[in-house]
Amino acid sequence: MTDFEKTRSLFYLPEGIVYLDGNSLGPLPLAAEERVARLMTDEWGELLIKGWNKAGWMMMPRKVGDRVGRLIGAPEGTVVMGDTLSIKVYQALASALELRPERKVILSDSGNFPSDLYMADGLIRSLDRSHELKIVEPEEIEAAIDETVGVLMLTEVDYRTGRLHDMKSLTKKAHDKGAIAIWDLAHSAGALPVDLTGADADFAVGCTYKYLNGGPGAPAFIYVAPRLADNVRPALSGWLGHETPFAFDLGYRPGGGIDRMRVGTPPILGLAALDAALDSWEGVDMADLRQQSIKLCDLFVAEVEKRCPMLTLGSPRDGNKRGSQISFLHGEGYAIMQALIARGVIGDFRAPDAIRFGFTPLYISERDVLKAVSILEDIMTNRLWDAAEYKQRALVT
């Protein structure tokens, strides 16, 4: 059994704070501070540019990629780190479209993260080849997969509601109809068991600053199925995706396998923090994590519905049909969340009316859940959210 008291001790958690926003930004792993400081002094400081060879900086995107891969069911050598999630979406989608040149429909749903849809729209405009981005409701996805679809592009866990897509069955339907499947794992990696190999996914992308606790702006990852990796063309043909980057050829030749999805110089400080954060997962059984996650979420839902009837559940009630987050809906959701934050319960708000809470068993306990609900009950019962200072919108919600 996974010892979640032990994993909790690996994180810096401010005194008096109940942190239910790890689905947006994970807390600081204690090991990350030391690791980054050591890299800055012993490696960057002492080695200077020699660090690329002597400290192994150049191979960090692959090394850390393999560590992330173990959490998402990806074989060694199929995941590489770098850039941002939006860039990785662009890379995956551009490559996927070239694999199905005769198909013009990109199918997604209204629960997909808007940035993924923005990147698709921008790519369509740049290509100017009559592609169409078709967006349907999440429950209509399976029926919408037909012979016109070239690429199915979905986020496995809805960022607003936590609703969970069935990756395996939808990927099979896509393949049966001749389409390529891309999965965004932003709210899946580190939140629940993922098996890209078992699901036969073609591409997957994700960020690492949420449940993987890599820190603000931590590098994203991309996965390409081994059967495709040596054949896909990288649309962003950056120098580190070249077969021999330091030959400085004027012509581009893609590297082998996943290396061709590298673009520019890797963010070494960010990778070091993420590498240290991934130490927290050593000894964690993902089945235990999933069981505890559902238990915490179910407890939260039951207690909030009992004590705060003025809030409406915005997430699937069945724990097996959602990720590791819960949303409740209210017309004054933004003010409610600001009142909670002022009392030391940190979640976030997603327009138009969702107060959102993430439950990460690595550092969240039943005690935290019950404390958060008690504070929420006081805020709702006594309308403490109804204050001017809680209604002034900040830049980040």
The whole-angstrom separation of Cα 362 and Cα 348 is: 19
Angle, helices 268-278/60-71, rounded to nearest 10 degrees: 30
- Is residue 88 part of the annotated active site? The answer reads no
Catalytic residue among 62, 103, 210, 350: 210
Catalytic residue among 290, 322, 343, 356: 356
- Is residue 221 part of the annotated active site? The answer reads no
- Is residue 209 part of the annotated active site? The answer reads yes
Catalytic residue among 19, 159, 209, 390: 209
User: Which residues, 6+ apart, have CB-to-CB distance to 364 below 8 Å?
Assistant: 19, 20, 22, 296
Give the amino acid at 206: G
Q: How far is CA 287 from the centre of its chain?
A: 19
313 DSSP β-pair partners: 328
Catalytic residue among 109, 184, 202, 368: 184
Catalytic residue among 113, 211, 223, 359: 113
Give the amino acid at 65: G
- Is residue 210 part of the annotated active site? The answer reads yes
- Output Rg (C-alpha) for the chain, integer angstroms: 22
What 3 state SS string does the chain have? Answer: CCCHHHHHCCEECCCCCEECCCCCCCCEEHHHHHHHHHHHHHHHHHHHHHHHHHCCHHHHHHHHHHHHHHHCCCCCCCEEECCCHHHHHHHHHHHHHHHCCCCCEEEEECCCCHHHHHHHHHHHHHHCCCCEEEEECHHHHHHHCCCCEEEEEEECECCCCCEECCHHHHHHHHHHCCCEEEEECCCCCCCCCCCHHHHCCCEEEECCCCCCCCCCCCCCEEEECHHHHCCCCCCCCCHHHECCHHHCCCCCCECCHHHHHCCCCCCHHHHHHHHHHHHHHCCCCHHHHHHHHHHHHHHHHHHHHHHCCCCEECCCCCHHHECCEEEEECCCHHHHHHHHHHCCEECEEECCCEEEEECCCCCCCHHHHHHHHHHHHHHHHCCCCCCHHHCCCCCCC
What residues are annotated to the active site? 113, 184, 209-210, 356
